[in-house]
Amino acid sequence: MRDEVRGVADLLAGRRVAVLTGAGISTDSGIPSYRGVGARPRARPMTIQTYLADESARRRYWLGGHLGWTAFTAPDPNDGHLALSRLERAGAVSGIVTQNVDGLHLRAGSTRVVELHGTMHRVLCLDCGQVFDRRAVAERLERLNPWVRQPETIELNPDGDVTPESTEGFVIPPCTVCGGMLKPEVVFFGEFVPAARFRGAESLLRASDALLVAGTSLTVNSGIRIIERARRRGIPLVIVNREPTRADGWADAVIPGGTSEVLGALAAQLA
């Protein structure tokens, strides 16, 4: 792998590199992914259609999310996150477009981050548009449901939640501004990435002259759209992922490895 990293470093040297990351960069922090080695895929991920139409599904979602919230926010950034932050400070990385909703890039010190699929750390009212800190909503949820207790052992699902045994009597806090329906500020299955957010990702890519993809199989179309923008411009494309991706055939270089190890080695070369 040393020679592969050296070759990629030579390819990217002197370029402003945009980075696209996925769940694979956070698995070393203990956050599970939908796909890849060790993944625990869900039989029925929450869709926006189900969330809007089914009150019982919303209760399961909020209770499960609340039970998993502490464990989901506990992990620290790993060596992969820290390597990208270091590369940004060195001027080698122009910014990060991430498909993750865990906020670990920001906690690692990266400052130019487009959270393509949103973030679990904010909650949105679907009626009036008010945005809340997730911690404040969690406090209200606890006051409304004092009987809820954290399980002794927690096995997080890929959405950062825990499967609850029962939702009987559970109350979802409404919006404190208009009484409307709340939803974590994340893009659910069946929902589109907000146009303004995708334009932010495109703007970051236009300011760059190479694209590094790390920790994603590119199964989700939003990631492929970023790849397509890079291909149209003809800029170098490098992929770092443990498993094959949908874009390997388009890449100038592919390193089949873990992001913590490879990005750390790359930072040592470039920074």
Q: Which token pair is 229?
A: 């923008």
Catalytic residue among 81, 105, 117, 121: 117
Angle at alpha carbon of residue 247, lines to 243 and 249, rounded to 5°? 100
Phi, psi angles (nearest 5°) of residue 93? -105, 125
Sign of CA dihedral 141, 145, 149, 154: negative
Strands 118-125 and 131-133: antiparallel
Whether the per-residue pLDDT at 104 is higher than 80: the answer is yes
170 pLDDT band, cuts 50/70/90, is very high
- Digit-coded pLDDT (tens) for 206-254: 999 999 999 999 998 999 999 999 999 999 999 999 999 999 999 999 9
**What local confidence, expressed as pLDDT, does residue 232 receive?**
96
Q: Which residues pair with 237 in a beta bridge?
A: 211
Tokens 């929450």 found at:
46
Let me know: does 161 contact 107? Beta carbons within 8 Å: no
117 tagged catalytic: yes
How distant, in Å, are the alpha carbons of 19, 23, 162, 264 from that of 28?
Answer: 18, 10, 19, 13
Let me know: does 258 contact 265? Beta carbons within 8 Å: no
**What local confidence, expressed as pLDDT, does residue 70 receive?**
85
**What local confidence, expressed as pLDDT, does residue 35 receive?**
60
State the average pLDDT over residues 101-127.
Answer: 97
Question: Would you call 236 helix, strand, or coil by DSSP?
Answer: coil
- Digit-coded pLDDT (tens) for 30-77: 998 766 555 555 557 899 999 999 999 999 999 999 999 988 999 999
Please, what are the domains in the chain?
1-31+77-117+193-271 (3.40.50.1220), 40-74+118-186 (3.30.1600.10)
Let me know: does 114 contact 197? Beta carbons within 8 Å: yes
Phi, psi angles (nearest 5°) of residue 132? -125, 150
- Digit-coded pLDDT (tens) for 122-165: 999 999 999 999 999 999 999 999 998 877 677 777 777 888 88
**What local confidence, expressed as pLDDT, does residue 42 receive?**
54
**What local confidence, expressed as pLDDT, does residue 76 receive?**
97
**What local confidence, expressed as pLDDT, does residue 38 receive?**
52
